[in-house]
Amino acid sequence: MGSTSSRSSPRIMRGFTLIELLIVFTLLVTLSAMLAPLMLPSPTRTLHVAASNIATSLRETRRQAQADQMRRRFLIDTETGRFGIEGSASWRALPEDVEAALTTARSLITGDSGGGIDFFPDGSSTGGRVYLKIAEQSLKVDIEWLTGRIRVQEDEP
């Protein structure tokens, strides 16, 4: 008959050492310090996102003009901050703190605060510029008339 010993084998302690915990804590603090500015809203980031949204909508207007082989018009209301493609139900809005201004052909100005930019089947456009401003920072979205090229640039004061 075998007898069982009431003695148990030595216990192995499992866990983390103080050094390991300090290393992990240091890494977490460092990552938090690096990622926090990316997560917090900033006027610069807001302005760049707004300009990117305007440029995307302009490019989509140009793409539709080329695909459908007919003139398409990008419209923006600088008072309300709403913009989109004429005849489309999906309009977008600028963030509340972003101010907009439009430079376009006189014939494309609609009312006191709106206007448009036409794109043609060959990719060209009537040209123009959308200015965006928040606090002391500003960007401009340029639309070249001959090529229809769209660029976002810093606006020099």
At 40-75, the pLDDT tens digits run 778 888 999 999 999 999 999 999 999 999 999 999
Residue 5 in this model has a pLDDT that exceeds 70: no
Question: What single DSSP character describes residue 106?
Answer: G
pTM of the model: 0.75
Residue 38 in this model has a pLDDT that exceeds 80: no
Q: Sort residue 18 into left (φ over 0), alpha (ψ -120 to 50) or beta.
A: alpha
**H or E element: which one contains 6?**
none
Gap between the Cα atoms of 27 and 37, Å rounded: 17
Specify the residue for token string 């069982």. Answer: 4
Mean of pLDDT values over 7-22: 76
Say what the pLDDT of residue 9 is: 62
Greater confidence (42 vs 77) lies with: 77
Closest CA to 48 of 125, 155, 144, 149: 155
At 98-133, the pLDDT tens digits run 999 999 999 999 888 899 999 999 999 999 999 999
- Compute the C-alpha angle 45/49/51, nearest 5°: 115
List of domains in the chain: 44-154 (3.55.40.10)
Q: Report which residue type is found at 28.
A: L
At 127-155, the pLDDT tens digits run 999 999 998 899 999 999 999 999 999 87
